[in-house]
Amino acid sequence: MKKKIFFPIFLLIFIFGTLVVYAQASTPAFTEETFEAKISNVLDEKQIIREDGSKSTLQKLRLEGTSGNWKGKEIIFDGIGRDADTKSVYEEGDKVSVSYSKDTDGNEIFYINDYVRQGQLYFLVAIFLIVILLIGRWQGVRAILGLAFSFFVIIKFIIPKILSGGDPLTTSLIYSFLIILVATYLVYGLNKKSSISILGMSASLIITGVLAIIFTKLCHLTGFAQEETMYIMNLTQGAINLQGLLLAGFIIGSLGVLDDLTISQVSTIQELHKLNPELSKWEMYKKAMRVGIDHVSSMVNTLFLAYAGVSLPLLLLFTFKQEPFLTFEQVINHEIIATEIVRTLVGSIGLALAVPITTFLAAHFYCRIKTKEINKQLKLSDNKIL
């Protein structure tokens, strides 16, 4: 029992150690100086109306550095004198992230990027961990380790590889298989259920990848539709394949849902086999598929709502009724909307196909177990007769 419990942890630690050594050589370095500060007081505030009719608030603020070389130092941010608009209207006591640079004349320039919200995020993470550990207990611990591993692989491997010019699709596929393998065995243990689930997820992931490639080409999706793409292109000097990055997002986005779906189907087959070992492969398959259909129905809607939640501002385009979004056809023809449609439908197709694939594999495997047991009993009976 102890071996079953501690082996996944040792496996994860070993893989983490190997990945850390590798990642140190591939993680890009960033030289931009950014520090945290606290707003001591608001010196002045002015509201203006831009030429396009939008309202903007300019502020002059006194800041006190709270991190790095700027800790304890006083800084004046003059947004009014430089007509520097900020994302928010800040108040005394707010903690903010500040960028520091120099212009061509050597003058120091400070700009407030955003609020500092790490403390609140860490508090939310603590609540999340407590809830998962209280409800999931030991399996909750393993689930958290699996989550940490997935995050580690994405941050330390997938992203650095893409930034260094690697093919995003190939990179995401390779490391997605690694995430599936380690996370599934870590959470559910080294057993037959996990192995069958991994096979089902892998098959579905390949199908999703193929469909993503086909429809990205057919729909002429370039990956340039999002606003952040130009920023990324400037930072990387055009070294990133944005279409490949788009495909990588399709692949990684489908991982989480596949895990839950495939494990559920294998568990259903496993329980059916325990209750009635005499069921044939097709009987088990048909009974488990009744459960699988319910899963697909709910998960497809869940997947759509997850994408819709992220892309909610884009859905407003359907209500504008003005050029270039006058008709329904014009809206869905826009690359931003088309990308989300392809993302949702490709992910849903891969999700739906994961159910019959995994259910068939599980039914086939457990029927083989039954056949082996029958043959073993027959062999024992023959030996007794002899």
User: Given a cut of 90, is residue 127 above it in pLDDT?
Assistant: yes
Over residues 69-81, the mean pLDDT reads 83
Q: What beta strand segments (E) does the chain contain?
A: 33-49, 55-65, 74-78, 95-102, 108-115
Return mean pLDDT, the chain: 77
Over residues 96-122, the mean pLDDT reads 83
Check: CB of residue 356 under 8 Å from CB of residue 300.
Answer: no
Instruction: Please check whether the domain covering 34-116 is classified as CATH 1.10.1760.
Output: no
- How confident is residue 323, by pLDDT bands cut at 50, 70 and 90? low
What integer pLDDT is reported at residue 383 of this predicted model? 47
pLDDT tens-place string over residues 241-271: 677 777 777 788 777 677 778 888 898 888 8
- Give the residue from 135, 222, 149, 240 showing the smallest Cα distance to 187: 149
The residue ranges of every structural domain in the chain are 34-116, 187-378
Check: CB of residue 61 under 8 Å from CB of residue 112.
Answer: yes
Residue located via tokens 């192995």: 195
pLDDT tens-place string over residues 286-321: 888 988 888 787 777 776 776 666 666 666 666 666
What integer pLDDT is reported at residue 360 of this predicted model? 92
Residue located via tokens 């993503």: 212
167 by Cβ neighbours in 10 Å (0-12 / 13-18 / 19+) ranks as middle
Over residues 25-48, the mean pLDDT reads 73
What integer pLDDT is reported at residue 27 of this predicted model? 43
What integer pLDDT is reported at residue 384 of this predicted model? 45
At a CB cut-off of 8 Å and minimum separation 6, what does 97 contact? Answer: 34, 35, 36, 37, 112, 113, 114, 115, 116
Over residues 327-338, the mean pLDDT reads 74
